Amino acid sequence: MMTRTLGAGGPEVSALGLGCMGLSHGFGPPVPDADGIALIRDAVDRGITFFDTAQVYGPYINEELVGKALAPVRDQVVIATKFGFEINPGRPNSLNSRPDHIRRTVDASLQRLGVDHIDLLYQHRVDPGVAMEDAAGTVRDLIAAGKVGGFGMSEAGVEAIRRAHAVQPVTALQSEYSLWWREPEAEILPTLVELGIAFVPFSPLGKGFLTGTVSPGMAFEQSDTRSQLPRFSEPERSDDRRLVELITSIGYRIEASAAQIALAWLLARHEWIIPIPGTTNRHRLAENAAAVDVRLSADDLAAITAAADLVDTTRDRYPAEMQAWVNR
Ligand SMILES: NC(=O)c1ccc[n+]([C@@H]2O[C@H](COP(=O)([O-])OP(=O)(O)OC[C@H]3O[C@@H](n4cnc5c(N)ncnc54)[C@H](OP(=O)(O)O)[C@@H]3O)[C@@H](O)[C@H]2O)c1
C-alpha cells in the first residue's frame, strides 16, 4: 500500500486508513467481536497501518475491539482515538474538554486499547466551554508525559485550529470531506496546507451514499444514524443521485467501483489527504484498499468535480443539537 506522511513531522501511514466506528456503532448493531477482529487484521495484511476509533464509538467497545485486534502488530500501526465527550448513560452525550476530564478519559482509553501510548489523540469536537489553549495545553502535557504521540482535532474551524496549533502543533484534522461534502475546501484545506497539518477525511464515501448502494427510498433502521441525518432524507438524497450516477459510469469505463472513484478523487486532491473509509465487510475492505491504485485522468477529475459542484451544501449534515458542534 502506498504511504503518506501524517502532517509535516508525522509518521508515514498507509494512504488510506480504516475507520473502525461502524464495527461497533452508527450503522446498526455491532458486529460480533471475532468478525471485527478478523476485518481489522485483514486490513493490516493489506498494508493498512492507520486505524481510527473514539471513546464514544459504542461507547467504549470500539476502542476495546481495535486494541484487541491490533495487539499482535502494535508497533507496526498508528492508532488514533478521540476525547471530548461526556458519555451520559440514557441521555445524549455532551461536550467536555476540561483538562481533568481529558486526562482521566485518556487513561481509560489507554487501558481499553491495551497500549502504553496513543499515537494520535483527537479532540472530537471543539468545546466552547473550555479555552482552546487549555485543551491543547493538556494534550501537550500528555505528549510530554509519553502517553500521546500527536495531537489532532475534528470538525474544528480555522480560528480554533490556529489557537490550538500555537500551543501544541496539530498533526491532523479529521473532518467530513468527500465528493458529497466539500465545505473544507474553502478555508480549512488552505489553512492545513499552510500549517503543515494532515487532513483525514471522515465519511469519505458519504456514509455509503457515494458507493451507489443507497437506493432511492431506502429506509434505515433506527440504530443506523443515517435515519436521523438530514442529507439522507428524501427528496434531498435523490437530488444528488446524478453525482453517484456519474462516478458509477466513469468507474464502469475504467473498471473501478463508485467507492473507488470517490476515494481516488480524494487522494488526488492533495498529498496530505489520508481518508479513512469504514466497512464491516471484508470484500468491501479489499475493494476500498485497491482504490489507491485507481488513477483518474485530468478530464475525469474535472468532470467529477463539476458534478460535485452541483451538490447543495447549504443543508445541515446533522440534527440541530449535533450540527451546533461542528465547524467551531
Ligand atoms: N470525527 C468524527 O466526528 C467522525 C464522524 C464519522 C465517522 N468518523 C470516522 O470515519 C470513519 C469512516 O466514516 P463513516 O463510517 O461515517 O462513513 P464512510 O466510510 O463514508 O461509509 C461507510 C459506509 O459505507 C459502506 N461502504 C463502505 N465501503 C463500501 C463499498 N466499497 N461499497 C459499498 N458500500 C460501502 C459501509 O457499509 P458496510 O459496512 O456494509 O460496507 C458503511 O455503511 C468512521 O469509521 C470513523 O472512524 C469520524
Q: What's the sign of the alpha-carbon dihedral 87, 88, 89, 91? A: negative
CA 9 from centroid of its chain's CA atoms = 20
Q: What is the mean pLDDT of residues 242-261?
A: 96
Is residue 202 within 6 Å of ligand 1 at its C-beta?
yes
The model's pLDDT over 202-243, given as tens digits with 9 standing for 90+, comes to 999 999 999 999 988 888 998 899 998 888 887 767 778 899
CA dihedral 311, 317, 319, 320 (to 10 degrees): -100
Locate 147 and state its grid cell. Answer: 502517553
Say if pTM beats, i.e. exceeds, 0.95. Answer: yes
Is residue 20 within 6 Å of ligand 1 at its C-beta?
yes
Q: How far is the CA of 19 from the centre of ligand 1 (A)?
A: 7
CATH class of 3-209+270-293: alpha beta
Host H or E run for residue 174 = strand 170-176
Mean pLDDT of the chain, nearest integer: 95
Q: What is the mean pLDDT of residues 7-15?
A: 93
d(CA 253, CA 272): 28
Of the pLDDT bands very low, low, confident and very high (cuts 50, 70, 90), residue 320 is: confident
d(CA 105, CA 113): 12
d(CA 286, CA 200): 20
At residue 82, the 3 state secondary structure works out as strand
pLDDT at site 291: 98
Q: Is the pLDDT of residue 323 over 90?
A: no
Query: Catalytic residue at 318?
Result: no
Pocket test for ligand 1, best of 23, 181, 279, 323 (most atoms within 8 A of CB): 279
Is residue 150 within 6 Å of ligand 1 at its C-beta?
no
Give 224's Cβ-side CA count (13 Å radius).
12
Region label for 30, one of left (φ > 0), alpha (ψ between -120 and 50) or beta (otherwise): beta
Q: Where are the domains of the chain?
A: 3-209+270-293
Residues linked to residue 5 through DSSP beta bridges, in sequence order: 12
pLDDT at site 327: 76
The model's pLDDT over 110-127, given as tens digits with 9 standing for 90+, comes to 999 999 999 999 999 999
